A and B are shown apart, each in its own frame.
Chain A
Amino acid sequence: MKHVIKALTLALAASLLMAATAFAAPVKIGLMCPLTGKWASEGQDMRNIVTLLADELNKAGGINGNKVELVVEDDGGDPRTAALAAQKLTTSGVIAAIGTYGSAVTEASQSIYDEAGVVQIATGSTAVRLTEKGLKRFLRTAPRDDEQGMVAAKLIKAKGYKAVALLHDNSSYAKGLADETKALLDKAGTKIVFYDALTPGERDYTAILTKLKAANPDIIFCTGYYPEVGMLLRQKMEMKWNVPMMGGDAANHADLVKISGKEAAKGYFFLSPPGPQDLDAPAAKSMLTAYKAKYNGVPGSVWSVLAGDAFNVIVEAVKSTGKADSAAIADYLKTKLKNYPGFTGQISFNEKGDRVGDLYRVYEVNANGEFILQP
């Protein structure tokens, strides 16, 4: 009975939306991103890229002759604001919403989009469970944490490290990755000599490093975000401690080396989907040139580029299905879209809405502080 009611309300909402979109010429696409708060720089990059793409699209005549209207809402990087932002987007009549960055923030908005029947494509949210709920219209252009954990454990084994120190920052994402890796390493019999969480947002991590040093690891795997990783690298060098350090995709940000200094970052390696500078797709190159011309800089990380990918696949779906309808878009993306040439490589989704394909690469920082894609 419950399912019937749910299906009926969904159908009703969908038909209402269809009725709304059939007459209104512009195709409304929502973007939910952190424009204020701790992750404001990520959100502002996301907005820049998507705005750029929408402007270009409209200049070229829009989708099948219809203009695209972008509706941007600030989620502040916190769940409660995100719930309101999602509510705002769904009521403004968007057919699909892009975003957002943090997994916990995305999760707070999922049910709202779902109940409103709007397609949601998350861009930086890698937590496994987001796509395990069976939501029909949820997709993501970001890879999943368990995939990354698998690659990380494999890499640690391949490099022959025997004693591993794991450090996370107690965020949903970083802890998930650390736990995933820990479970796999435990199974493989690799010794974990240290497992703890740092407090993000602080400046001084020498107390943690001193404690880490006493544990005597072969490798430190810090799954946290780049600001903390940068500080750790810098302070590690100041202690004249040469243990290698690796990280996850949250470390992939141009500011990492700015924070740590080139000398300290040299030899640091991390896993990540290919960053903006390594995207060899011609579309990515021209997009980055346009970005540079418009905003005088490059996007700080790959996550904002994934928002651009999300925008493009939505446009592609509307073009191909010929109608601006959420149900059709979700269905098209999950079943029909195959190997769409995105900025971050070819894009296909599976039934759950996860992106298919092995996205992770290993990057190493060279003496000039550049992130070099490892073969």
Chain B
Amino acid sequence: MEEFFQQLTNGLAVGGIYALIALGYTMVYGVLKLINFAHGDLFTIGAYLGFTLFTAFGLSGMVAGPGAVVLVLLMVVGLVALIGFLLERVAYRPLRSSSRLSAVVSALGASIFFQNAVMLIYGAKFQVYPNDIRPSYVLSIMGIDVPLVRIMMIAASLALMLALYWFTQRTRIGAAIRATAIDQGAAKLMGIDVNRVISLVFMIGPALGGVAGVMVGLYYGQVDFTMGWVYGLKAFTAAILGGIGNIPGAMVGGLLLGVIEALGSAYISIAWKDAIAFLVLILILIIRPTGLLGERVADKI
């Protein structure tokens, strides 16, 4: 039983990261119906920018303190948001009125471009975050070991998700985003500047991915230029699992995917872990064709 709960916490920690990245997919999808395959690479860029900032400021040790971490996070948010904004302007806006699949191919091209740009700038080697920024304290609750930094990570992911949910549901801008998601034409007629809303979404989504990148860097230490591909695919799976376009869905999907992976490796097979996760996804979609929390979309006739 102890092992079960240990695996559950392992899964939740991984799932929290998936969820955070999945939010970016889901938001962009919500307004543009576009699968932004470059999203995983924005996550990588966030991780690398965090690395550059931490080492540039010579931040190390607990002297740096939580304030410095927050400062770096804010700067990464700003920079990745800017890249996201530019990405939409350059690679997606010209394709907005064409077939959705054209934009998908453009996204794949952007993904290859970013991945290789990171490799050329930082080199193909792994980069390693300064090791002593994060607290190394490990909590022991009833025989289950949970590093403090894990709890902080899950808490931070949850806080960001709740903030985002509040933002989209309770603010005027959030309402504009939702209106754009439902019907761009109608939103335009209501006086919403659709282009600005889309730009905003393309800043928020990637920024969340960037934050996830810094968190992965801080916690796991190691960043490399291909990491976005692995995490991106997982996060996309999570977003679909929860019902793409749906913010609580991304949270549920991410956490669930993490838990399925952990329990799958624990009780079935590690080598088959990803296959198990995809199998569960397929089964869920067969039963609920639009994901766990996705709404059944009526056919346009």
Taking beta carbons and an 8 Å cutoff, which residues of A are in contact with B? 36, 38, 40-41, 43-44, 170, 196-199, 201-204, 206-208, 210-211, 214, 227, 230-231, 234, 238-240, 255, 258-259, 261, 300
Contacts and interface: CB of A to CB of B under 8 A. Distances in A.
Please indicate which of the listed interface residues B116, B119, B271 has the most CB atoms of chain A within 10 Å of its own CB: B271
Interface residues of B, number: 36
Contacts of B226: 38, 201
B124 A40 contact: yes
User: A interface, by DSSP: helix, strand, loop or mixed?
Assistant: helix
B222 A201 contact: no
B3 A204 contact: no
A58 B162 CA distance: 65
29 contacts: A40-B124, A41-B123, A43-B124, A44-B124, A196-B269, A196-B271, A197-B270, A199-B271, A199-B273, A201-B227, A201-B230, A202-B230, A203-B220, A203-B227, A204-B13, A204-B14, A206-B10, A206-B13, A207-B265, A210-B3, A210-B6, A210-B7, A211-B265, A227-B224, A231-B222, A234-B220, A238-B136, A239-B138, A258-B126
Interface in B267-300: 269-271, 273-274
A255 B145 CA distance: 28
Contacts of A204: 10, 13-14, 220
B40 to A, nearest CB: 12
Nearest to B119: A40
A261 B274 contact: no
B266 A211 contact: yes
A37 B153 CA distance: 30
B147 interface: yes
Contacts of A230: 222
Interface of B: 3, 6-7, 10-11, 13-14, 116, 119, 123-126, 128, 131, 136, 138, 145, 147, 216, 220-222, 224, 226-227, 230, 261-262, 265-266, 269-271, 273-274
A240 B140 CA distance: 11
Contacts of B13: 204, 206
B138 A240 contact: yes
B125 A203 contact: no
Contacts of B271: 170, 196-199
Nearest to A44: B124
A36 B6 contact: no
A43 B124 CA distance: 9
Contacts of A170: 271
Contacts of A214: 3
Given A207-B262, A207-B265, A210-B6, A196 B270 contact: yes
A255 B126 contact: yes
Nearest to A256: B126
A198 B7 CA distance: 16
Contact of A239 (B14, B145, B216, B265): B145
Contacts of A41: 123-126
B155 to A, nearest CB: 17
B131 A261 contact: yes
A201 B10 CA distance: 17
Nearest to A254: B125
Nearest to A260: B221
A271 B134 CA distance: 32
